[in-house]
């Protein structure tokens, strides 16, 4: 009889310890968003291209809002190759032109019309993983200099955290130009 009590006690203790550790290791949504912010701002430097500069520093009103719609874009010319020039960059450091055409850092804020508001987590993760527009392999490839080859190696947990954080930032209305081909026309 005493033995049974002892086994019962040990079992309860064991279950208690498992539950306590389980609860501790489950990250709260807050922690996930914080981690996403850390990855975006400190590790992956998404704002380096997606937050346009106003002069020498970032434009604080345009955090991750992409190349400003009212600013001109650089236009590459193949004759520049003779001078070893392969990339032109707009003064905001958010539009890029080269032998691939012209690309514009997109609006990563959750604005419904001009940002990622209508995107799903799956579209976001697949676009980072496959390097194809909106994560659909039938779509065009994402243009340079978006470093998809590197971000594709992030863990699911990290990409999910980035997505969770992007959903929380201030929506900014900014209609970024579609990519242009080498003749300066929309793709």
Query: Measured between alpha carbons, how far is 110 from 87 in angstroms, rounded to an integer?
Result: 29
Interface with ligand HEC, residue 65, by CB under 6 A: no
- Site track 12-51 with ligand HEC (rule: CB under 6 A), x = hit: ----------------------------x---xxx-xxx-
CA 119 vs CA 33, 107, 144, 163, 164: distances in Å: 18, 12, 21, 10, 12
**Minimum gap (Å) between residue 92 Cβ and ligand HEC:** 12
- Chain positions 164 to 183 lying near ligand HEC, rule: CB under 6 A, are 179
Identity of the residue, 21 or 187, whose beta carbon is nearer to ligand HEC in the bound complex: 187
**Minimum gap (Å) between residue 109 Cβ and ligand HEC:** 11
Interface with ligand HEC, residue 102, by CB under 6 A: no
**Whether 165 contacts 37, CB under 8 Å:** yes
Q: What angle do CA 78, 81, 82 make, to 5 degrees?
A: 115
80: left (phi over 0), alpha (psi -120 to 50) or beta: alpha
Region binding ligand HEC by CB under 6 A among candidate stretches 3-11, 16-24, 74-82, 142-150: 142-150
Query: Measured between alpha carbons, how far is 19 from 9 in angstroms, rounded to an integer?
Result: 16
Residue 27: which of 38, 41, 43 has the closest Cα? 38
Query: Measured between alpha carbons, how far is 119 from 127 in angstroms, rounded to an integer?
Result: 11
Interface with ligand HEC, residue 143, by CB under 6 A: yes
Region binding ligand HEC by CB under 6 A among candidate stretches 22-30, 54-62, 77-85, 98-106: 98-106
**Minimum gap (Å) between residue 134 Cβ and ligand HEC:** 5
Identity of the residue, 44 or 69, whose beta carbon is nearer to ligand HEC in the bound complex: 44
Length of the chain, please?
Answer: 187
Binding site for ligand HEC (CB under 6 A): 40, 44-46, 48-50, 96, 103-106, 108, 124, 127, 133-134, 142-143, 145-147, 151, 162, 179
């Amino acid at each position: 009889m005493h033995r049974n009590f002892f086994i019962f006690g040990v079992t309860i203790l064991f279950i208690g310890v498992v539950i306590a550790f389980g609860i501790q290791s489950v990250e709260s949504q807050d922690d996930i968003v914080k981690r996403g912010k850390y990855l975006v701002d400190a590790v992956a430097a998404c704002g380096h291209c997606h937050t346009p500069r106003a002069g020498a520093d970032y434009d604080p009103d345009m955090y991750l809002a992409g190349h400003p719609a009212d600013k001109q874009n650089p236009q590459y010319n193949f004759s520049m190759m003779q001078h070893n020039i392969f990339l032109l960059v707009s003064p905001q450091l958010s539009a890029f032109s080269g032998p691939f055409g012209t690309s514009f850092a997109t609006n990563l804020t959750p604005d419904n019309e001009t940002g990622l508001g209508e995107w799903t987590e799956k579209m976001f993760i697949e676009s980072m993983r496959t390097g194809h527009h909106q994560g659909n392999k039938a779509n065009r490839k994402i243009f340079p200099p978006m470093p998809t080859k590197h971000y594709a190696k992030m863990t699911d947990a990290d990409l999910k955290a980035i997505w969770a954080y992007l959903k929380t930032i201030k929506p900014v209305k900014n209609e970024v130009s579609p990519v242009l081909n080498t003749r300066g026309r929309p793709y």
